[in-house]
């Protein structure tokens, strides 16, 4: 999730899709085990989710950066959030969350070729925050985040990066970064999950017709269906390289849970046949990540005031869209014993009674449907206390106190994730 989305492609593809039904979820589960040891029970990968119900993103902190023209200068506080503390993580735990996703941008913290040595202070800070999460008895997820966020950054899927030479350069850097991360956490227990990358795209969010700008000596172009096909294939290659690199380090990494995703981390890109799971030397240790913000006009920019078929009959991004996307993910992965994490979703704060009611309805519906499908939802919190565009924040990052309306949001998503009831009882405002 970028700090500011400069644009949004809402490609409305008219198709007749089958609606999926997910079983009702179970009741409250015990908290995950802490102490840097085993958090997951059971003998197959599906059982990995037994003690994971709902997570929270430490967004716009370790993933924050400044720079232009391809320069990425990470800084924990550059986007206005306070430095993360143990007290903040404890506050997140106290509200019922069991998993913390820690997005990390590496950028200029990666040294020059050929070693690509990671800045030790930055890596140690990541480890310190992972330690906070472990101390609180929660699961942690770390990744490579905005390094692949758009057309300018080094973890690129633009045309020039998909030549033989371009791939070789990215592969060397990508594998060096993951090798060092894996070495840093070689003795860290299974509460820590690695995620290969975030919403990988060329700036066009996986859609054709986007005018990819020139970067340095590379030419601008308008992407085509062939570009998207090549990007999908490249994502599969990078997922495989990620898995191979981490496993080769050994130690706890030999059997660590690894999180992989499709192009842009979009559900429809992930349940489709062109997304392939990597081969793995570990048995049943792969997890799949998706993000869900449909429609961003409602969830993120707040240009749309209401949501759902009752308020907007016939609108494409309604309850059926949730069922179609998450149901398809369930069919392809969950039903086959492959865990799925909805690594980002959310809805921004509203300042009207109607807006607040629809925000809660949207969040409860999506959380409940995901939970009923066996998908672990992880709320996107960027620390913003404002209303409207990008106002996703739940916690004051300095004090750990709840922001405006956050108690209501947390109440409905905890209910949806942890309690047994029929989704049909959730009524639109």
Output the pLDDT for position 50.
Answer: 66
Joined tokens for residue 265: 């981390």
Cβ within 8 Å of residue 120, ≥6 positions away: none
SS3 label, residue 408: helix
For 39-57, how does the pLDDT look when each residue is reduced to its tens digit (9 = 90+)? Answer: 443 334 455 566 899 999 9
Output the pLDDT for position 190.
Answer: 92
Domain boundaries, the chain: 45-425
Q: What angle (nearest 5°) sits at the alpha carbon of residue 293, between those of residues 289 and 294?
A: 120
269 is catalytic: no
Q: Could you say which of 76, 195, 319, 344 is catalytic?
A: 344
Joined tokens for residue 124: 């140690």
Output the pLDDT for position 234.
Answer: 98
Report how far residue 122's alpha carbon sits from residue 40's, in angstroms, rounded to the nearest whole number: 29
For 203-216, how does the pLDDT look when each residue is reduced to its tens digit (9 = 90+)? Answer: 888 899 999 888 77
What would the DSSP string read from start to end of 35-74? Answer: TTS----SSSGGGGGTT---EEE-TTSTT-EE-STT--EE
199 is catalytic: yes
Output the pLDDT for position 150.
Answer: 67
| Pairing verdict, β 376-379 and 340-345 | parallel
Output the pLDDT for position 71.
Answer: 84
Query: How far apart, in Å, are the Cα atoms of 24 and each of 15, 132, 344, 369, 416?
Result: 27, 33, 22, 8, 10
CATH fold group of domain 45-425: TIM Barrel (3.20.20)
pTM (2 d.p.): 0.91
| Alpha carbon of residue 388 to chain centroid | 21
Report how far residue 199's alpha carbon sits from residue 356's, in angstroms, rounded to the nearest whole number: 28
417: part of which helix (H) or strand (E)?
helix 406-418
Output the pLDDT for position 48.
Answer: 54
What single-letter DSSP state applies at residue 424?
Answer: G
Buried/exposed code over 305-319 (b: 16+ C-beta within 10 A; e: otherwise):
ebbbeebbeebebbb
pLDDT < 70 positions in the chain:
1-21, 23-50, 150-151
Q: Could you say which of 76, 152, 195, 199 is catalytic?
A: 199
């Amino acid at each position: 999730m970028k700090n500011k989305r400069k644009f949004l492609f809402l490609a409305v593809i008219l198709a007749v899709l089958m609606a999926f039904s997910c079983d009702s979820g179970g009741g409250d589960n015990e908290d995950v085990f802490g102490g840097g040891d085993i958090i997951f029970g059971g003998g197959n990968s599906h059982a990995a989710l037994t003690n994971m119900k709902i997570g929270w993103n430490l967004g716009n902190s370790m993933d924050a950066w400044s720079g232009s023209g391809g320069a990425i200068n990470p800084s924990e506080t550059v986007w206005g959030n306070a430095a993360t503390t143990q007290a903040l993580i404890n506050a997140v735990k106290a509200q019922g969350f069991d998993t913390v996703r820690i997005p990390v941008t590496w950028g200029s913290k990666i040294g020059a070729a050929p070693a690509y040595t990671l800045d030790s202070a930055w890596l140690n800070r990541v480890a310190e925050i992972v330690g906070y999460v472990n101390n609180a008895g929660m699961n942690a997820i770390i990744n490579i985040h905005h390094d692949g966020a758009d057309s300018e950054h080094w973890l690129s899927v633009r045309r020039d990066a998909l030549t033989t030479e371009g791939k070789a350069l990215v592969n060397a850097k990508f594998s060096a970064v993951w090798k060092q991360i894996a070495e840093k956490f070689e003795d860290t227990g299974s509460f820590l999950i690695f995620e290969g990358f975030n919403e990988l795209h060329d700036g066009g969010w996986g859609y054709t017709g986007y005018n990819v700008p020139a970067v340095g000596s590379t030419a601008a172009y308008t992407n085509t269906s062939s570009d998207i096909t090549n990007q999908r294939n490249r994502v599969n290659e990078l997922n495989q390289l990620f898995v191979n690199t981490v496993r080769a380090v050994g130690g706890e990494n030999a059997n660590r849970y690894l999180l992989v995703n499709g192009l842009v981390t979009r559900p429809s890109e992930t349940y489709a046949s062109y997304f392939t799971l990597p081969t793995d030397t570990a048995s049943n240790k792969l997890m799949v990540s998706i993000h869900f913000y449909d429609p961003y006009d409602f969830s993120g920019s707040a240009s749309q005031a209401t949501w759902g078929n009752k308020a907007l009959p016939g609108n494409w991004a309604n309850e059926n869209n949730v069922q179609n996307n998450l149901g398809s993910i369930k069919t392809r992965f969950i039903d086959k014993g492959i865990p799925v994490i909805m690594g980002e979703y959310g809805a921004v704060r509203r300042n009207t009674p109607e807006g607040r009611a629809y925000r809660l309805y949207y969040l409860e519906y999506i959380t409940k449907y995901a939970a009923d499908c066996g998908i672990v939802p992880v709320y996107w919190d960027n620390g913003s206390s404002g209303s409207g565009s990008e106002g996703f924040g739940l916690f004051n990052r300095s004090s750990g106190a709840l922001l405006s309306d956050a108690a209501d949001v947390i109440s409905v998503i905890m209910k949806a994730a942890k309690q047994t009831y029929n989704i049909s009882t959730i009524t639109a405002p």
